[in-house]
Chain A
Amino acid sequence: MGITTRRRSFRKAGIVALSLVAVLGLFASACSSSDDSSSSGGITKAAWIYVGPINDGGWTTAHNAGREFAAKELGAKVKTTFKESIPEGPEAAQVIDGLVKDGNTIIFATSYGYKQQMQDAAAKYPNVKFEQATGDDITTGKAGLPTNYNEYWGAGEDTLYLSGVAAGNASKKGVIGIVAPFPIPEVIRHINAFTLGAQSVNPAATVKVVWTKSWFNPTLERQAAESLVSSGVDALFSHQDGPAAGEVAKAGNLPWVGYDSDQSGSYSSVWLTTATYNWGPYYLAKINASSDGTWKADNYYGTIADNFTSLAPFGTLVSGATKSSIDSQLALAKSGGAKSFGWFWGLQDRLDQDGAVKIKKGTSLTQKDLYTMSYFVKGVDGSAKG
């Protein structure tokens, strides 16, 4: 190739690269979406950072429904924005910077892995409110947290305990497979609660845990579920943001507990139930508080009594007796008082995998106990370290 042709192909490469940048720029502007284009005074700008796509059919879909609820309730008083599929870690910092520059005064980050970036940003931008879902640093007393940084979450373990009751009754062998994302306290306590729920109806029930190390990756979720089925489980619980394990359950006709979204329609033949979260009222309240100056870092932990956590509709595999047993526990929790939150942990001595007593009968767990739970209860087959 002569020198002139080489120069020519470099020029062509430059043109390709430039047009690529231009096209990508168009897509980027098309993809970031907002509900309202008016931007005069009196409008609160609120933004959400999502870990998955809004159509993941689970976690992010639920947060986005919460955003839409708040936007609808507040109408012209709020302008909401969201950024989807943002990787956890350092990249999130740039996204947060961009959202602050766009004039957002309250930012909700909806996955655990954003908390460091959210705390850094809170220190950097004292006039913006930062809301971190599933964060645990306020509860565990991390030093030096900015006052404009808050964490919010809910007692999903309570509804997962009840889901475990359904699974414990549906599993004939009493061996249930769990597709789990990351070995962090949130997931560990959920798995423990689910296991205790299954054992409340079948004391010999055990669960097998497989870690995907991913919140949302349908291929990995499916592979993990298949590996559990081939190892002999006869019911599944997938603690993932998407419903891929439901496909495996359907193919093997095994009862299935999903996570954080109602899949009773798409997987009616195998669906049991699951924990769902209702984020909308919380988002509405915090946006209102930030616009009228009453916002404070309240380390919110929603419960069944708050209507923050609830059970998805039961599938046809759940027997009438199971339904009424779960419904009566749900009604007790709804009624408030001492039984409204984490009522099941201290029903009897709870042992860890090695047989050591971790929770004494009659004691109740504090939020800090929950947020630092790093052991599996007896009956869990798998490593709590991942």
Chain B
Amino acid sequence: MSFNDNLLIVIAASAIFYGTPLVFAALGEILAERSGVINLGVEGMMLLGAVSAAWVATNVDGPAGVVLPLALLAAMIAAGMGAAIHAFLTITLRVNQIISGLALTIFAGAAGLSSYLANIWNLGQAPIVNQFNRLDVLGLADMPLLGPILFHQTLLTYLSWSLVIGASFYLFRTRAGLHLRSVGESPQTADSVGISVAGYRYFHVILGGTFAGIAGACFSLSIVPTWADGLTSGQGWIALALVIFGFWRPDLMLVGAYLFGALSSLGFTLQARGVGISLAVLSALPYAMTIIVLVLVSTSSARRHLGAPAALGKPYEREER
């Protein structure tokens, strides 16, 4: 065994690989929630993205450089359409955001539209040929320590890193980001200075949805890689928890995503090395950690302190001003 088969390096490398869909999904949800709209439809949107990407990758012939971007685009469009429904219901019709988001996940989710589409499209019969494989960046994949962790990931991981950097810059260093945060904090104030509350909310809910679509495509184009009903297996819910876990900040969320990613395969890695530990305990850990964080931030003063957008979950009605 080489140095890079060291337990900690293996865990770190797989944390990033399996944390990548969480990064996309949670980043999208951060953008939506920063605008004041909570979207519990992440799991459903991920499955819509996964099934659309699988359809394109199965049915479009061509080199990977053409097929994969098309598949990602399809995933973004499909999940973005799901998000647009949520945006219309919650922003224009001012339906309760929790109910609309849950409806989206149930409607699009594992026993709904995504498996129905997969059935009529006859997906899942064979593995997808064009996949996002792990790359050997700059020939450094075998470099001790950092090679497997930083230079042996898929293109999706590098895309997620650039989006996290971009989103952090956008949120905290640009005028539009400032406007976005003000819409989420105090829509009345934002409205009074001429910022379009509905416009910002629509844009960021739908943009967040497209990110969830990429998260779903991570499964059907890279992790699994084929279609299987419910293949995201609840990762959308973990992503929702991650938003709180990361206090609505992309950089902290990234850390949380990799922590959860590490836990997802830690049980197997320990089993394979003869360390007896209950798989049930390990797979429950992310949820237990989430509950602890939720309890810690449950008081409204703590939430304010930790950065929850003040208007999160509240529909905005102009005439109430």
- On A, residues with C-beta under 8 Å from B are 1-2, 5, 9, 12-13, 16-17, 20, 23-24, 27, 30-31, 53, 55-57, 85, 177, 208, 210-213, 216-220, 222-224, 226-228, 230-232, 242-244, 246-247, 251, 265-267, 381-383, 386
Contact A12 B94 (CB under 8 A): yes
- In the complex, A224→B320 CA distance in Å? 55
Of B18, B99, B268, chain A has the most CB atoms within 10 Å of the CB of B268
Contact A226 B125 (CB under 8 A): no
- In the complex, A218→B103 CA distance in Å? 26
Also in contact, A224 and B1, with CB within 8 A (given A9-B95, A27-B113) = no
Contact B272 A53 (CB under 8 A): no
Q: Chain B: which residue is nearest A231 at the CB level? A: B272
Q: Is B146 an interface residue (CB 8 A)?
A: no
- In the complex, A211→B14 CA distance in Å? 18
Complex interface: chain A residues within 8 A of B106 (CB): 20, 24
Q: Is B115 an interface residue (CB 8 A)?
A: yes
- In the complex, A223→B268 CA distance in Å? 7
- In the complex, A17→B89 CA distance in Å? 12
Stretch binding the partner chain, chosen from B169-177, B201-209, B227-235: B227-235
Contact A219 B219 (CB under 8 A): yes
Q: Is B59 an interface residue (CB 8 A)?
A: no
Smallest beta-carbon distance A216→chain B, Å: 7
Q: Which residue of A2, A57, A223 contacts B264 across the interface (Cβ within 8 Å)? A: A223
Beyond contacts A5-B317, A16-B103, A230-B10: 7 other A-B pairs, Cβ-Cβ < 8 A, are A12-B96, A13-B95, A53-B228, A210-B268, A223-B14, A224-B272, A227-B269
- In the complex, A194→B119 CA distance in Å? 35
Complex interface: chain B residues within 8 A of A224 (CB): 268, 271-272
Q: Is B226 an interface residue (CB 8 A)?
A: yes
Also in contact, A266 and B126, with CB within 8 A (given A16-B95, A219-B223) = yes
Smallest beta-carbon distance A111→chain B, Å: 16
Contact B224 A9 (CB under 8 A): no
Q: Is B321 an interface residue (CB 8 A)?
A: no
Q: Is B237 an interface residue (CB 8 A)?
A: no
Contact B320 A1 (CB under 8 A): yes
Contact B103 A27 (CB under 8 A): no
Q: Which residue of A217, A219, A266, A386 contacts B127 across the interface (Cβ within 8 Å)? A: A266
Q: Which residue of B94, B119, B133, B228 contacts A242 across the interface (Cβ within 8 Å)? A: B228
